[in-house]
Structures are given as structure tokens and as C-alpha cells.
Amino acid sequence: MNANIQWKKAILTATVWLLTEILLNSLNLDLLADYGEFVLQRNTIAILG
């Protein structure tokens, strides 16, 4: 039963991400989202390094 909940959460997360990407692409704001991901990833790498 717990695995079923994890699958539902993963599918929901992927769906929200996909819809957000489509929305941002349609508004030509995808570069802004990519920059935000870059900044977050850079901080993660700095913490791990």
C-alpha cells in the first residue's frame, strides 16, 4: 500500500512539473525557470563540495 502512495506522489510531481514547463514555454518564461534551477543546483553542489 505504501508503494502505491509513492507512485501516486511521483506521478503527481511529474505532472505538475510537466504542466509548469508547458505553461512557462507558452509564456516564453522558460529561461527564467532554467535559471532558477541553475541557481538551486549550484547551491546544492556548493554544499556537497
Reported as a single tens digit per residue, the pLDDT across 5-36 is 888 998 999 899 888 888 878 887 777 667 76
Question: For the residues of 1-49, what is the DSSP string, one character each?
Answer: -HHHHHHHHHHHHHHHHHHHHHHHHHTT-HHHHHHHHHHHHHHHHHHH-
Dist CA 33 CA 39 (whole Å) = 10
Q: Is the pLDDT of residue 45 over 80?
A: no
Q: How much is the pLDDT for 33?
A: 67
Q: How much is the pLDDT for 28?
A: 79
